[in-house]
Structure 1
Amino acid sequence: MMAISKQEARPVLSVNKWKFITWLFIITILMLFASQTSAYLVRRAEGNWVEFALPAVFYWSTGVLLISSVLMHLSVRAAKKDEFSKLRLMISGTFILGMIFLVMQYMGWQELQVAGVYLKGNPSGSFLYILTGLHAFHLISGLFVLVFSLLAAFKLHINAKNLVQIEVCATYWHFLDILWIYLFVFLLYFR
């Protein structure tokens, strides 16, 4: 008799499409900022570079963004426990702090203009506005993601059995926070 061997069925590995799209978007943003910070360094090495202090409000806005990241983390934890009111509160708090961050960025740009640093003029100022402006643009997109998550939380579409939307939102928001910290440290070090 011939022994027939059965091949074991291998589990199919799959990734949620929304998580995959989010990571592709994050990689694209990383490439954008890598190219911009590289261009910054190359242009800075050429000379004719005006050094100036970053506005104090940028320090405070960094703290605001870090606190927003903590609230975003707490929203995911609340969703895992089906604590719906806490989930909505934490997402709302994250959104409010994101808006405060944008206002603080605007205040920083105004402070730069008072100091004589403009978008047009010396490349050092131009790069600062471009880098912080690009980040602000992406943060606005993060605020839209937060709004959709908040609406889903009110409709109870986010819960312990359906976490994809809040996980995608948290991944993107934490990425934006980490990106800001990178930019802030980069701008502090390479003035």
Structure 2
Amino acid sequence: MANFPIEEQSSRSGVHPLKFSLWLIIISIIMMFAAFTSAYIVRREEGNWLEFDLPNILLINTVIIAFSSVSMQLAYNSAKQNSLGRLKLMLMVTLGLGIAFLIGQWYGWADLVQNNIYFGGTGSNPSGSFLYVLTGVHGFHLITGLVFVLMVLLSSLKYKVHSKNMLRIQLCTVYWHFLGGLWLYLYIFLRINH
């Protein structure tokens, strides 16, 4: 994305094709997680469901991702105000918090393994498998978000992100806030239904 020019122009419909594509991606991710959480509820009602405490790191990760959403918004606001130094700093903070979130997920999984809760295979239970899937698929999408943030950061280092060229950071901000909102939904869902 950083290697070819991104023009701010919209298509005939008035919506930039990249914005339209991002919204299609977001809608498809929403549908996928709606299917996962629906399957979770249906499978839980069938019985043979192991009850266990969720790893405490999930709450810490919720705080981390909330702060990363704030730093991403500050990066967007900085670009809008042509505060390029703060823009780069806030993008780096967002990257760091995103990486911290992924490390937290890794520790959460380690906690599950330590408590003999595994994904699939012999000795596993659907409740543990669902937790791995929900957090793992979100983690995958967070990695794609980190790649997106890194691309915007690299573009900002080349002075390609500023008040007259906001498309990159606008798309990245929308996607990052979506990932934060999705995590908040998953965390609340798991707390209520676990």
Question: Shorter chain as normaliser: what TM range?
Answer: over 0.9
Within 1, Cα distance between the matches of 2:159 and 2:24?
A: 28
**Cα deviation 1:38-81 (Å, max 9, x = unaligned):** 11111001001011111111110110000000000000100001
Q: CA RMSD in A?
A: 0.8
- Aligned partner of 1:125 in structure 2 is 128
Within 2, Cα distance between the matches of 1:131 and 1:159?
A: 36
**Cα deviation 1:75-113 (Å, max 9, x = unaligned):** 010000101110000001000000000000000100111
Runs of 4+ aligned residues of structure 1 deviating over 6 Å after TM superposition are none
Matched length? 180
Within 2, Cα distance between the matches of 1:51 and 1:185?
A: 17
- Aligned partner of 2:151 in structure 1 is 148
Within 1, Cα distance between the matches of 2:184 and 2:136?
A: 15
Q: Percent identity?
A: 46
Offset at residue 13 of structure 1 (A): 4.5
- TM-score of the pair, normalised by structure 2: 0.91
1:45-124 alignment runs, 5 A limit: 45-120=45-120, 121-124=124-127
Q: Does 1:165 align with 2:161?
A: no
Offset at residue 18 of structure 1 (A): 1.1
Within 2, Cα distance between the matches of 1:13 and 1:142?
A: 27
Extract unaligned runs of 5+ from structure 1: 1-11
- Aligned partner of 1:30 in structure 2 is 30
- Aligned partner of 1:182 in structure 2 is 185
